[in-house]
């Protein structure tokens, strides 16, 4: 056998060996069970073990890029999948595509939101800050009310003793040449005697005229009403008619029910609760008419001094006091019509009385004097110079001051009961005669030449409290553009501070909701200052219907920093696309 024959025999044997080997391997492969094959290919079904298969060829065969993988997936989906998709064969490649698609859509949406935000960011509110500085220049603790524009809340209402804050709130026209004015506690109405129009103007305490009662229509001034007093048990108004020499009685419905003749030129009237009688001073007769309030009869006529001008009753004892203007004296009677005493040297032309809880005060017109009389001893306790011709006087029990009118200067002079002048209130530089005070402390006075009734009240806020000039503007701004509070910082000038803050909100029905906040819970000393960082106000809305209420000590300054967001309503209105 030559060399070429040997080479051919070896090649044939190699082919036969290779075929046998492949046949044997194919036979061994078919004998492996399906479960064993699964285990061999996939391990324990975890992704980490799957990736860790050492057989690179098997790993490559299972990769999604392999064309046979897609065919196997379709075959498995056809065999095991359902129409409803309850059972599905996992396709990591398609699932990744779906996730990528969702992520892309989400990212696109986020970009749109960001773009929209950037377009409207200029309209979104930013944190703003406003500063309020308050100082109490007085000697009393004051209540402070901030905001509350719609509620008519003042920064700090004057106290009754703040007579320096008095002002004329309004003037209401009455009749011609009004004289005295009286308050009827039975119906809460004011009665003004109009001398030269022969009428009585009846109005409520807001100034609304309820009725004008005509007492005569023959000649102006023929009846001439000058004074009025009231029966507290039935509301009757007893009107003194000085030219007609009568007393006209109006019932609670403002009808004239009686006309009672009295003495010559009656000028004043007073009710005595001790015996239920009215007393009328008769100027030209030098007498005092006593009238029973039930029978309407004159039951006694008492002799007085010369030209009795005004009658008054000391209610605690029922004694009757009469000022005798020409004899410069005062006559005092008891309920049994006995003359108890005569006080002389009461100044030149004594006229009007008023009473406090301990004394009677009398003014002497021509000698410009204020006299304090002791109702127990019937002595003159004190005499105070006035410096002007007084024409009327009233004691205000709410604040304990005496209000003295002058028809010479047209002013009200306000005195303490020890004769010290506290304030002078300008009215109208016209003669003012009648004056009365309400239980609420409001004072009313008649202007004879102007024919009106002046309502004397208080200013909106105490003059003891000062606040920075920018506050009213900010208050009005918040009324129309509400502010959402982030927090507030209260800086106190000293440690003498009130205990807390009240957030007061008023509903459309008028009901108030109060949230109390303690300053002590938010105490935060900073740079040796007494500071309260009040975070509890977060979320509070400052508008016209909310109020912050707290106290401020005498001589104290409080600085408030309010951090807030202020929304503009036009940016809250959704855009309508057409």
Q: How confident is the model at residue 479 (pLDDT cuts 50, 70, 90)?
A: confident
Task: Give the confidence band of 380 by pLDDT, cuts at 50, 70, 90.
Answer: very high
443, 458, 473 — which closes off a domain?
458
Backbone angles phi, psi at 509, to 5 degrees: -85, -5
Q: Can you tell me the distance from the alpha carbon of 169 to that of 441, in angstroms, rounded to the nearest whole number?
A: 14
CA distance 170 to 184: 20
**88 and 133 inside one domain:** no
Claim to verify: residue 485 and residue 532 sit in the same structural domain: yes
Kindly report, residue by residue over 357-377, the tens digit of the pLDDT: 999 999 999 999 999 999 999
Cα dihedral 294, 298, 304, 307 in deg (nearest 10): 100
Please, what is the average pLDDT of the chain?
83
Kindly state whether residues 331 and 228 are assigned to the same domain: yes
Q: Do 216 and 285 fall into the same domain? A: yes
Q: For the residues of 174-194, what is the DSSP string, one character each?
A: -SSSEEEEEEETTTTEEEEEE
Q: Per residue in 149-170, pLDDT tens?
A: 888 788 999 999 999 999 999 9
Residue 13 forms part of a structural domain: no
Copy the structure tokens of residue 343: 């006080």
Q: Residue 124: its pLDDT value, please?
A: 53
For 82-98, the pLDDT digits (tens) are: 444 444 444 444 556 66
196 inside domain:
yes
Residues 447 and 370 in one domain: yes
pLDDT tens-place string over residues 117-135: 455 544 556 789 999 999 9
Co-location of 524 and 442 in the same domain: no
Pick from 51-65, 338-352, 422-436, 514-528: least confident:
51-65
On whether residue 148 sits in a domain, the answer given is: yes
Largest distance between two CA atoms of the chain: 187
Q: CA of 475: how far to CAs of 39, 91, 502, 539, 560, in Å?
A: 80, 66, 18, 18, 14
Distances in whole angstroms, Cα of residue 73 to Cα of each of 39, 82, 92: 19, 14, 11
Examine residue 477 and state whether it is found in any structural domain, yes or no: yes
Phi, psi of 64 (to 5 degrees): -65, -25
| Domain-ending residue, one of 399, 424, 458 | 458
Residue 206 resides in a domain: yes
Indicate if 442 and 392 belong to the same structural domain.
yes
Residues 307 and 387 grouped into a single domain: yes
Single residue among 397, 431, 458 that ends a domain in this structure: 458
Q: 112 and 245 in one domain?
A: no
Structural domain range at position 76: 56-119
The CATH number of whichever domain residue 227 belongs to comes to 2.130.10.10
Average confidence (pLDDT) over 507-516 = 84
357/406 same-domain check: yes
Strand-pairing partners, residue 147, are 547
Is 20 part of any domain? no
Say if 357 falls within a structural domain. Answer: yes
Give pTM, 2 decimals: 0.74
Do both 113 and 187 map to the same domain? no
Total number of domains in the chain: 3
> CA-CA distance, 393 to 319, in Å (whole number)?
20
Overall average pLDDT of the 175-182 stretch: 96
Please indicate, yes or no, if residue 45 is contained in any of the structural domains.
no
Going by their DSSP bridges, the two strands 308-314 and 319-324 should be labelled as antiparallel
Phi, psi of 356 (to 5 degrees): -105, -165
Give yes or no: residues 270 and 413 share one domain: yes
Q: What is the pLDDT, as a whole number, of residue 90?
A: 45
């Amino acid at each position: 056998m030559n060399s070429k024959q040997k080479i051919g025999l070896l090649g044939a044997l190699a082919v036969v060996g290779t075929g046998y080997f492949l046949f044997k391997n194919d036979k061994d492969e078919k004998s492996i069970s399906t479960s064993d094959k699964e285990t061999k290919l996939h391990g324990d079904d975890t992704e980490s073990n799957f990736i860790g298969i050492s057989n690179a060829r098997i790993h490559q065969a299972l990769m999604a890029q392999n064309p046979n993988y897609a065919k196997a997936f379709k075959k498995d989906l056809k065999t095991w999948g359902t129409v409803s998709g309850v059972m599905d064969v996992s396709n990591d490649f398609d699932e990744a595509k779906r996730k990528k698609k969702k992520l892309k859509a989400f990212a696109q949406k986020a970009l749109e939101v960001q773009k929209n935000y950037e377009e409207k960011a200029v309209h979104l509110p930013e944190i703003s800050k406003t500063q309020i500085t308050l100082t109490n220049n007085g000697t009393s603790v004051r209540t402070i009310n901030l905001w509350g524009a719609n509620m008519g809340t003042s920064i700090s209402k004057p106290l009754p003793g703040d007579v320096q804050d008095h002002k004329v709130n309004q003037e209401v026209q009455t009749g011609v040449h009004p004289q005295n004015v009286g308050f009827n506690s039975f119906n809460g109405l004011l009665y003004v005697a109009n001398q030269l129009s022969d009428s009585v103007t009846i109005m409520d305490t807001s100034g609304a005229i309820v009725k004008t009662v005509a007492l005569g229509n023959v000649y102006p001034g023929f009846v001439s009403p000058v004074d009025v007093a009231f029966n507290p048990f039935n509301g009757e108004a007893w009107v003194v008619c000085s030219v007609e020499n009568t007393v006209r009685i109006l019932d609670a419905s403002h009808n004239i029910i009686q006309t009672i003749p009295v003495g010559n030129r009656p000028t004043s009237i007073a009710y005595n609760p001790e015996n239920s009688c009215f007393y009328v001073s008769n100027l030209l007769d030098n007498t005092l008419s006593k009238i029973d309030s039930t029978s309407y009869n004159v039951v006694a006529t008492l002799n007085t001094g010369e030209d009795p001008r005004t009658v008054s009753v000391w209610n605690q004892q029922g004694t009757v006091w009469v000022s005798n203007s020409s004899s410069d004296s005062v006559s005092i009677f008891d309920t049994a019509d006995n003359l108890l005493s005569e006080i002389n040297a009461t100044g030149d032309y004594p006229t009007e009385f008023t009473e406090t809880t301990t004394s009677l005060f009398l003014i002497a017109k021509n000698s410009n004097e204020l006299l304090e009389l002791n109702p127990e001893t019937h002595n003159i306790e004190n005499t105070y110079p006035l410096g002007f011709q007084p024409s009327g006087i009233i004691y205000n029990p709410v604040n304990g001051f005496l209000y003295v009118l002058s028809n010479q200067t047209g002013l009200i002079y306000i005195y303490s009961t020890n004769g010290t002048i506290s304030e002078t209130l300008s009215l109208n530089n016209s003669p003012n005669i009648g004056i009365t005070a309400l239980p609420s402390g409001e004072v009313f006075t008649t202007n004879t030449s102007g024919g009106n009734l002046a309502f004397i009240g208080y200013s909106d806020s105490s003059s003891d409290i000062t606040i920075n000039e920018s506050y009213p503007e900010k208050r009005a701004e918040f009324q129309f553009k509400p502010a959402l509070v982030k927090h507030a910082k209260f800086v106190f000038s000293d440690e003498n501070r009130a205990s807390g803050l009240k957030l007061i909100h008023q509903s459309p029905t008028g009901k108030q909701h109060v949230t109390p906040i303690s300053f002590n819970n938010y105490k935060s000393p900073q740079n040796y200052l007494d500071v309260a960082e009040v975070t509890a106000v977060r979320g509070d809305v400052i508008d016209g219907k909310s109020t912050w209420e707290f106290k401020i000590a005498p001589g104290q300054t409080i600085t408030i920093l309010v951090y807030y967001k202020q929304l503009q309503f036009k940016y809250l209105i959704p855009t309508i696309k057409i």
